[in-house]
Amino acid sequence: MNWNIEFDKANEFVRAYQTGTFSLADQAAFLTDIFRSTHWKYGLPLMIDYCGLTVDSIGYIDLTAAGSFLATFRTKLGPGKMALLCGDDEQFGLGRQFQLLCEPEIGREIRVFRDEAEAASYLTADKAVHVSAS
């Protein structure tokens, strides 16, 4: 598995690309590299683009293990949003499973997209502040 981590200066989010064939060991190294990257700052929005990743071998155990590993970075993640960008139905389904498994564990919103512009828009949209009337 190969990856690249960049900072999208115009939109102020970190984008991490994955290509090749998935392996759990590589996934752990990939996630570690995101949070060790000079681009990473606490609370930044994060897009993980796995359109170029071969996911044929990913099962439930891999998803839960990757999610548990990501949860170890909760204090580095901070609040914010994460977009998962996928390229086909199989990737979308795995992304949704990952979202459901991980969102409560990492304390961050996760959404899965097939369109890059929609994913970027989600990450950069201001969060509405809700004030209750007391």
What is the DSSP code string of the chain? Answer: -EEEEEEETTTTEEEEEEEEE--HHHHHHHHHHHHHSTT--TT--EEEEEEEEE-TT--HHHHHHHHHHHHTTHHHH-SSEEEEE-SSHHHHHHHHHHHHHHHHHHTSEEEEES-HHHHHHHHHSPPPP-----
Statement: residue 134 has pLDDT above 80: no
Distance in angstroms (rounded) separating the CA atoms of residues 120 and 130: 23
pLDDT at position 130 is 33
pLDDT confidence of 127, banded at 50, 70, 90?
very low
Distance in angstroms (rounded) separating the CA atoms of residues 65 and 94: 13
pLDDT at position 91 is 95
Query: How confident is the model over 79-103, as a mean pLDDT?
Result: 94
pLDDT confidence of 132, banded at 50, 70, 90?
very low
pLDDT confidence of 57, banded at 50, 70, 90?
confident
What percentage of the chain reaches a pLDDT higher than 70?
93
Of the spans 103-107, 114-118, 126-130, which averages the highest pLDDT?
114-118
pLDDT at position 88 is 95
Q: Edge to edge, what strands does the sheet with 13-21 contain? A: 2-8, 13-21, 46-54, 81-85, 109-113
pTM, full prediction: 0.89
| Overall fold of domain 2-124 | Transcription Regulator spoIIAA (3.30.750)
**Domains of the chain: which residue ranges?**
2-124
pLDDT at position 71 is 94
